[in-house]
Amino acid sequence: MSWRDALPDDLRDELDLADRRLGAGVVAANDEAFAEKENLVQPHEPAFLPHTFGHKGQVYDGWETRRRREPGADWAVVRLGAPGEVSAVVVDTSHFTGNYPPECELQACWAPGWPSAAELGSDVRWVPLVPRSPLKGDSRTVLRASRPVRATHVRLTIHPDGGVARLRVLGAVVPDPSRWAGVGLDLVALVNGGRVVDCSDRFYSPADQVILPGSATNMGDGWETQRRRGPGNDWLLLRLAGAGRVRVVELDTTHFVGNAPGAVRVTGCAGEPAAGSEWVELLPRTRLQPDTPHWFAVGDTSVVTHVRVDVYPDGGLARLRLLGHLTEEALAAAESRWQSRLGGGGKP
């Protein structure tokens, strides 16, 4: 069972803002004597091979500090892949059995841009995200924020020392619209605020992976459905970053050699999809090739907020891009939302 499958129902579709594939990184840690801090944000499940020793001892797929002999606590600072509102975290101590920290706490800060580790220590205000809480060994602990906290960085403090395999930071993206000034954008990208609202099948992989940044590294890094044996077809329903006009549809089947969809159709609507919604055709049913990046120009310039991608009959997509422009109203709304996060001197 993956870490996401074990989440409570209300958190299962939350985005992991600390996913390395979004651009997250670990900018600083006070100690990483036994295992590197960068492992905290790896997207894959932690692995463990017993009796595998390096020059630092047993190799662990996580972050592990030395045994503390003096008062204090160890810490690591994670830069989120995109600024966002954090609602919960998952502290994963998988495979750490006699060397996990008994307790942890988390703080958050709002520091847009590219601050250095030193600047994060002296020039920003850290606020509580999760109070000091107990942890168990070889387990995943879900810790909820008392209220959603806007953040660009989070600080994990462990008491007094030990190892943590992964840190998942659950929430929603708050994109900076200045990145879009005068240019088009990928209207459905996770980092821009796009989301998968629903899909027909998540059998092999999470649907949100199809709108991650960059290229898929392998077949498991996209969205793939199980083999359909009955009538019908599989589909994705996506909410765009805001109301906009789609100009180009990019559909990438790279790595999907014997399991790419045979064809695809893309439609869109304005407003929350419901019975009786008016859908416009952005891309008619079109043949796809396996293991191939495709792009298609869109003739319909209707404003849409949601897009449905139908694949026939089933299969996998590595990446989906919907290139276009936000409406002036949607861009203004995004700017207002961003500025509201900067109120009060940029504090969370």
pLDDT reported for residue 348: 53
What is the full DSSP assignment across 220-267? GGSEEPPPP-SSS-EEEEEEEEEEEEEEEEEEE-TT-SSS--SEEEEE
Would you tell me how many other CB atoms lie within 10 Å of the CB of residue 110?
Answer: 22
Q: Report in angstroms the alpha-carbon separations of 327 from 35, 228, 232.
A: 47, 38, 34
Q: How many helices (H) and strands (E) does the chain have?
A: 2, 21
Q: Residue 137 in 3-state DSSP?
A: coil
What pTM did the predictor assign? 0.81
* Per-residue DSSP letter, 173: E
Q: What is the pLDDT along the chain (348 residues), one digit of tens a residue?
A: 788 888 998 998 899 999 999 989 999 999 998 889 999 999 999 987 777 777 676 777 899 999 999 999 999 999 999 999 999 999 999 999 999 999 999 999 999 888 888 888 777 899 999 999 999 999 999 999 989 999 999 999 999 999 999 999 999 999 888 878 777 899 999 999 999 999 998 888 889 999 999 999 999 999 999 999 999 999 999 999 999 999 999 999 999 999 999 999 999 999 999 888 899 999 999 999 999 899 999 988 899 999 999 999 999 999 999 999 999 999 999 998 888 765 543 445
Quote the Cα angle for 67-70-76, to 5°. 60
Distance, CA of 314 to CA of 135 (rounded, Å): 41
280 phi and psi angles, rounded to 5 deg: -110, 150
Domains, the chain, ranges and CATH? 9-174 (2.60.120.260), 179-329 (2.60.120.260)
